[in-house]
Amino acid sequence: MSNPRAVAFRVLLKIEQDGAYSNIALNHAIRDSGLSGVDSAFVSALVYGVLERQITLDYIIKQYSKIPLRKIEIKTKVILRMGIYQLLFMDKVPAAAAVNESVKLAKAQRLHQSAGFVNGMLRGITRADPPYTLPPKTDLVYYNSVKYAVPQDLVRLWQNAYGEANTEAMLESLSGRPRLYIRVNTLKTDKAALKALLEDEGVVCEEVAAADNALCVSHTGAVEQLTAYKQGLFHVQDLSSQLCVSFLSPQPREVMLDICAAPGGKAFTAAQYMQNRGKLYACDLYDHKLKLIQNGARRLGITNILTHKRDGAAGMPLPLADKILCDVPCSGLGVLARKPEIRVKRDLLSADLPALQYQILCHSADNLAVGGTLVYSTCTLNPAENGDNIRRFLREHPHFQGVPLTLPAGVTRAFDEEAYEITLMPHTAKSDGFYAAVLHRIQ
């Protein structure tokens, strides 16, 4: 059987060198290695932990190393990050094991000169008290960046856009694993029956005040192995996405467009609102993503979804619709806790995204019938991708207007916004970071 640390090393190296997605690379590695139980859990904790703390870990390396970080060989750097994470952030790993196994890993990678370097660095950290010191708070952006392992550009953006209190709360929310929400498939069951079935399998279920057919679950194990999942009684969907569809409020017999639909969660929820009646066109640019939607709809027993290969930015014609969901590609800053590799992306704040999003929004709006409703949404926390795009759209499209939102129980605004929009934040909605605006075509 494979060595768990060696498996974690390979995953982290693949993410570092190839830009692989953490969840996909990790799942493949665990499956191929044959690890299970405690070993697979250890690999997952180590991989996600190193990714989540990478900025902090590199800061610590720089405090101890005479060699500049940029000149440390990439495999050595990954091994150092793993070793430091085990020493400082994994309470159940003995210090001796963290050091010795890191040295063995370096030797196994034929990094014989680096093995001594790794040994000296890690032993130095074990002897230090405290093992490292944070930057002074006089530079709050740098301090928060190192403390919470978030790029300085993002800390600065959030402080300027949302204020220091909201920024602090959001940064705090990034620690640990995020909440797991599911959406009851109302075409096949109800919440009470699903809850009872899940609890029989040992799943802990928590009621969610903000959404009628949502449950917050834990102790699930592999979700795909649950009987209720195999029977198509629910799909996994964050509360923010469930609220987004509720703002659109699709109805039976309507025509709805989901412009950037993959992997299909919002379309599935919308189809349930529609009671599987009417037509729901789920669009995406790639065949393999459309197949994901088709497979998901089949598992849930949904038959009113029609997949459609389409480039949302190209303005290809679609049927006139009563409802449109325009959930555009975004920087993903609201899901850092779920996708930790986003923290170390070089183009984290892309200047090109808002223009692409605006183009998709404008082309989508052309397909909305008079009297129809469009929801524009992202899973990011960046005003340039969110409210700025909507305000520009309303200025340039006078035949549209914003529709005031009624916020559900337990959801509050973190700052002053227009009545037609909401920026969901972990500390104000217990959800991922998310933005939604509701627009109505008046002529």
Q: Of the candidates 14, 16, 92, which has an alpha carbon nearest to the alpha carbon of residue 57?
A: 16
User: CATH 3.40.50.150 occupies which residues in the chain?
Assistant: 239-441
CATH class of 180-236: alpha beta
Q: Which CATH superfamily is domain 4-127 in?
A: NusB-like (1.10.940.10)
216 is catalytic: no
The set of residues, in sequence order, having a beta carbon less than 8 Å from that of 69 and lying 6+ positions away, is 58, 61, 62, 77
Query: What integer pLDDT is reported at residue 9 of this predicted model?
Result: 94
Helices (H), 178-286: 191-200, 227-230, 239-248, 265-273
End-to-end CA distance of the chain: 66
Scanning 2-151, the segments in alpha helix (DSSP H) are: 4-18, 22-33, 37-52, 54-64, 74-89, 95-108, 112-127, 140-148
Low-confidence ranges of the chain (pLDDT < 50): none
What per-residue confidence (pLDDT) applies to 172? 92
What is the DSSP annotation of 176-190? SPPPEEEEE-TTT--
Per-residue pLDDT at 317: 82
Q: Are strands 279-284 and 255-258 parallel, antiparallel or unpaired?
A: parallel
Kindly report, as residue ranges, where domains of CATH 3.30.70.1170 are found in the chain.
180-236
Are 167 and 144 contacting, i.e. CB atoms less than 8 angstroms apart?
Answer: yes
pLDDT at 23: 81
Rounded to two decimals, what is the model's pTM? 0.91
Residue 328 in contact with residue 285, Cβ under 8 Å? no
Q: How far apart are CA 69 and CA 82, in angstroms?
A: 15
> What is the distance between the alpha carbons of residues 133 and 147, in angstroms, rounded to a whole number?
10
Strands, sheet with 180-184, edge to edge from the N-terminal-most edge strand: 204-207, 214-218, 180-184, 234-236
Q: Judge whether 255 and 279 are in contact, CB under 8 Å.
A: yes
Of 205, 260, 283, 379, which is the active-site residue?
Answer: 379
Looking at residue 126, what is its pLDDT?
95
Q: Do 228 and 296 contact (CB within 8 A), yes or no?
A: no
pLDDT of residue 19: 81
pLDDT for residue 36: 79
Tokens of residue 53, six digits = 């703390």
**pLDDT score recorded for residue 2:** 78
- Cα distance between residue 264 and residue 235, in whole Å: 10
Query: Under CATH, what is the fold of the domain 239-441?
Result: Rossmann fold (3.40.50)
Q: What is the pLDDT of residues 30-86, one digit of tens each?
A: 888 888 788 888 999 999 999 999 999 999 999 999 999 999 999 999 999 999 999
Angstrom distances, CA of residue 51 to CA of 40, 47, 286:
17, 6, 28
Q: Please tell me the distance from the alpha carbon of residue 437 to that of residue 394, in angstroms, as a whole number.
A: 11
Give the per-residue pLDDT at 25: 86
How many angstroms from the chain centroid is the CA of residue 54?
17
Alpha carbon distance 216, 239 (integer Å): 9
Residue spans in the chain of domains classed CATH 1.10.940.10 = 4-127
CB 340 within 8 A of CB 148: no
